[in-house]
């Protein structure tokens, strides 16, 4: 069951990442590569997006500009921004700041569009 209430006060990504089971990772990556569609994988209390190119990014929400971070993204209008952290650490974390009336969807296509529009978090 997803946790929806835990937040931490930082805009930095978590120090430790939840790892994905290798079989789950291989299947999601293969499917995304085959049909060109992103995949969402829920694991260990977090969600990750698998891009059509096989990159895997964990997804976190910021509840406010002061950096209260939620460990499980929600389709909630109160979400201020979304953080994407690549699981293989081959890229800097990225942050996507929502426009006031923009959808906070956590569907695969919406998350991919947010990731593509995200800026380096530094």
In a domain, 11, yes or no: no
Give me the residue label for tokens 């929400």.
61
Cα–Cα distance between 106 and 3 in angstroms, integer?
15
Region 6-24: what's the mean pLDDT?
Answer: 51
Q: What sign has the CA pseudo-torsion 109, 51, 86, 96? A: negative
For position 90, what pLDDT does the model report?
87
Query: What's the confidence (pLDDT) of residue 111?
Result: 96
In a domain, 63, yes or no: yes
Domain total of the chain = 1
Where does residue 111 rank: exposed (0-12), middle (13-18), buried (19+ CB within 10 A)? buried
pLDDT digits (tens, 9 = 90+) for 81-113: 999 999 888 899 999 999 999 999 999 999 999
List Cβ neighbours of 97 (8 Å cut-off, separation of 6 or more).
80, 81
Q: Is residue 15 part of a domain?
A: no
Its pTM stands at 0.76
Tokens, residue 111: 């998350």
Q: Which domain holds residue 32?
A: 20-120
5 in any annotated domain = no
Checking if the pLDDT of 44 tops 80, the result is: no
The answer to the question of residue 85 being in a domain is: yes
Q: Is residue 60 part of a domain?
A: yes
Domain membership of residue 30 (yes or no) is: yes
Residue 57 lies in a domain: yes
């Amino acid at each position: 069951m997803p946790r929806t209430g835990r937040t931490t006060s930082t805009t930095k990504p978590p120090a430790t990442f939840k790892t994905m089971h290798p079989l789950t990772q291989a299947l999601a990556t293969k499917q995304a590569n085959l049909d060109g569609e992103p995949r969402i994988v829920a694991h260990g209390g977090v969600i990750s997006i698998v891009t059509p190119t096989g990159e895997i990014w964990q997804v976190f929400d910021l509840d406010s500009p002061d950096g209260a971070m939620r460990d499980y993204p929600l389709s909630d209008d109160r979400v201020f921004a979304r953080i994407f952290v690549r699981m293989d650490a081959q890229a800097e974390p990225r942050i996507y700041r929502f426009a006031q009336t923009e959808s906070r969807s956590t569907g695969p296509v919406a998350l991919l569009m947010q990731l593509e529009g995200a800026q380096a978090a530094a």
